[in-house]
Amino acid sequence: MEQTNKTNKKSFEESVARLEEIVKELEGKEIPLDKSLKLYEEGVSLVGVCSSYLENAEKKIKVLSLGPTGIEEKDFKVGNDE
């Protein structure tokens, strides 16, 4: 299974779909320990890919609010203190 080289090239949706497959495979049946470890490693790598996609998307999100001069665009911040 040579997923580690291909992992970074997958889209967010492909990565999530593969993660779901891995979870089902790990939960659904007994598999050898070495295969379980390989699947786990692939899953951890895919979680990193998904996190990167989400961080990049978060940076692009803008919050639109109504200000004194009309609609204003502000950067999205997690835990917005407004």
CA 32/CA 41 separation, integer angstroms: 14
- For residue 75, the model assigns a pLDDT of 73
Among candidate residues 32, 37, 4, the one with its CA nearest the CA of residue 18: 4
For 3-75, CATH number? 1.10.287
Q: What is the pLDDT along the chain (82 residues), one digit of tens a residue?
A: 444 444 447 899 999 999 999 999 999 888 999 999 999 999 999 999 999 999 888 777 777 676 778 777 777 776 645 4
pLDDT at 1: 41
Q: What is the pTM of this model?
A: 0.66
Which whole-number Å values give the CA distances from 40 to 22, 46, 54, 71, in the listed order?
Answer: 8, 10, 21, 46
- Total Cβ atoms within 10 A of residue 11: 10
- Estimate the crossing angle of helix 33-60 against helix 12-28, to 10 degrees: 150
| pLDDT for the residue numbered 53 | 93
